[in-house]
Copies of this chain bind each other. A is one copy, B any other.
Amino acid sequence: MDPSRVMNSSITTHPMKRVTIVCEKLAREAILRILTEVGAHGWTLWEVEGSGNQGPRMADIPEFTNIQIEVIVRPPVAQELLGRLQRDFFPRYAMVAWETEIRVLRSEKF
């Protein structure tokens, strides 16, 4: 039995990574394409206001509309996704990305 699973009465949760990406709306289609390419099975996306040192493109714009994208993936997929973002997206788009440890029900969906 996988010791990283936690059982509590009838509930079993499984460790996954949530990767969150905050970026300019311009990057939307390219990001969604990369999510498909690395094998992510679903995402949520919503508009946020943002302000920050997120690249030269936004240096003179104190507040603007960004998108925040969240995707839940297995740990190796998170590594692959972050690697692709770092290599292919960070040089071209104003964005930040981070990962959070989470636990999910129904690991077969991810």
Seen from chain A, the residues whose Cβ lies within 8 Å of a Cβ on chain B are: 8-11, 13, 16, 18, 20, 22, 32, 41-54, 66, 68, 72, 79, 82-83, 85-87, 90, 96-106, 109
Residues of B within 8 A of A90 (CB): 105-106
Residues of B within 8 A of A103 (CB): 98-100
Q: How many copies does the complex hold?
A: 3
Residues of B within 8 A of A32 (CB): 51
Given A18-B100, A46-B68: 12 more A-B contacts, CB < 8 Å? A9-B79, A11-B82, A11-B83, A13-B99, A18-B98, A43-B50, A54-B109, A72-B96, A96-B106, A99-B102, A100-B102, A101-B101
